[in-house]
């Protein structure tokens, strides 16, 4: 794959020096985010793993790996049965999908849901659920190994699909605050503001002062507890972009249906809501179809 040469501007060079090995090219993110049915942060995770470099040769080598994984592991509409068939024929298949789990009280076990494959009763080991409790709420994207057991398929009410392992995508690293604090010292306040805005996929040079401040304000719920902004505006103006595309710790509740069951706990089933994941800070952003957003 031939890649266009990207000229680094002063902000790019400053960021590359301050956060060596942590940056990805946003032009590459936009290229792949449009092609595959996954959020932007999933593409960034893969690019960050294989293309976190300013070397053209290293990036081109990493891009071939990223493209191969996105092509072979993301499930497009209509491809569900193809992936299931591969799991049956080969014994297992790898895919990138949201993983949610629930407790099956009738059988005293956990079962997982893989939405892209329309599978709702996938066996998953207790230890995987304990290590990744977020799957008990709104779930998270992960690189999943899905196995198929033909013996279980022949049993009455058998569950032939099983998740033996998974790798969460874009989960937090306890050392990230130290890395950010150290890198922050290389930036002026104005440079840091521009860097944050560019990290969301927006170009600060194309935004006036008011628009830049709006973009920053949308990030506050990620770092400030109980911060409840209300934003009014027509569709397509970027109100939901940050909360939907940039972080697995943000939950976008569409249609204004932010019920107590959805946010905290469903008393009928015991299912925990998006606000009570243990030990995980999250930004919850309910939205209404009329263009109103309210935390």
Bridge partners of 92? 147
**Per-residue confidence (pLDDT) for residue 291, from 0 to 100:** 36
**Per-residue confidence (pLDDT) for residue 273, from 0 to 100:** 63
**Per-residue confidence (pLDDT) for residue 234, from 0 to 100:** 81
Residues of the chain below pLDDT 70: 1-6, 171-174, 248, 253-295
H/E/C letters for each residue in 95-160? Answer: EEEEEEEEEECCCCEEEEEEHHHCEEEEEECHHHHHHCHHHHCCCEEEEEEEEECHHHHHCCCCCC
**Per-residue confidence (pLDDT) for residue 225, from 0 to 100:** 82
Q: CA–CA separation, 241 vs 119, rounded Å?
A: 28
Report yes or no: 52 and 22 within 8 Å, Cβ to Cβ.
yes
**Per-residue confidence (pLDDT) for residue 148, from 0 to 100:** 96
**Per-residue confidence (pLDDT) for residue 263, from 0 to 100:** 65
Domain ranges of the chain: 10-73, 80-168, 228-295
**Per-residue confidence (pLDDT) for residue 127, from 0 to 100:** 95
**Per-residue confidence (pLDDT) for residue 5, from 0 to 100:** 54
**Per-residue confidence (pLDDT) for residue 201, from 0 to 100:** 81
**Per-residue confidence (pLDDT) for residue 235, from 0 to 100:** 78
User: How confident is the model over 136-178, as pLDDT tens digits?
Assistant: 887 889 999 999 999 988 888 889 999 999 999 876 666 778 8
**Per-residue confidence (pLDDT) for residue 173, from 0 to 100:** 64
**Per-residue confidence (pLDDT) for residue 293, from 0 to 100:** 38
């Amino acid at each position: 794959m031939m890649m266009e040469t990207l000229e680094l501007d002063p902000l790019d060079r400053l960021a590359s020096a301050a956060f060596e090995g942590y940056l990805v090219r946003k032009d590459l993110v936009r290229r792949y985010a449009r092609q595959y049915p996954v959020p932007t942060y999933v593409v960034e995770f893969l690019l960050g793993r294989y293309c976190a470099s300013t070397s053209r040769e290293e990036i081109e080598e990493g891009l071939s790996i990223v493209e191969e994984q996105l092509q072979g592991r993301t499930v497009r509409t209509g491809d569900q049965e193809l992936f299931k068939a591969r799991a049956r024929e080969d014994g297992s298949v790898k895919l990138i999908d949201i993983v949610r789990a629930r407790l099956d009280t009738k059988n005293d076990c956990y079962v997982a849901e893989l939405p892209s494959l329309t599978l709702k009763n996938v066996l998953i080991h207790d230890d995987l659920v304990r290590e990744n409790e977020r799957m008990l709420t709104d779930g998270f994207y992960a690189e999943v190994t899905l196995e198929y057991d033909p013996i279980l398929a022949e049993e009455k009410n058998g569950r032939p699909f099983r998740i033996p392992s998974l790798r969460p995508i874009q989960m937090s690293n306890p050392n990230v605050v130290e890395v950010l604090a150290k890198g922050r010292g290389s930036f002026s306040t104005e440079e840091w503001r521009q860097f944050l805005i560019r990290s969301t996929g927006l170009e600060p040079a194309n935004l006036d002062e008011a628009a830049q401040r709006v973009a920053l304000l949308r990030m506050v719920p990620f770092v400030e507890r109980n911060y409840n902004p209300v934003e009014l505006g027509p569709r397509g103006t970027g109100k939901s972009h940050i909360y939907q595309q940039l972080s697995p710790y943000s939950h976008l509740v569409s249609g204004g249906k932010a019920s107590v069951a959805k946010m905290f706990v469903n008393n009928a089933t015991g299912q925990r809501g998006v606000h009570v994941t243990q030990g995980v800070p999250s930004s919850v952003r309910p939205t209404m179809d009329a263009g109103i957003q309210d935390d």
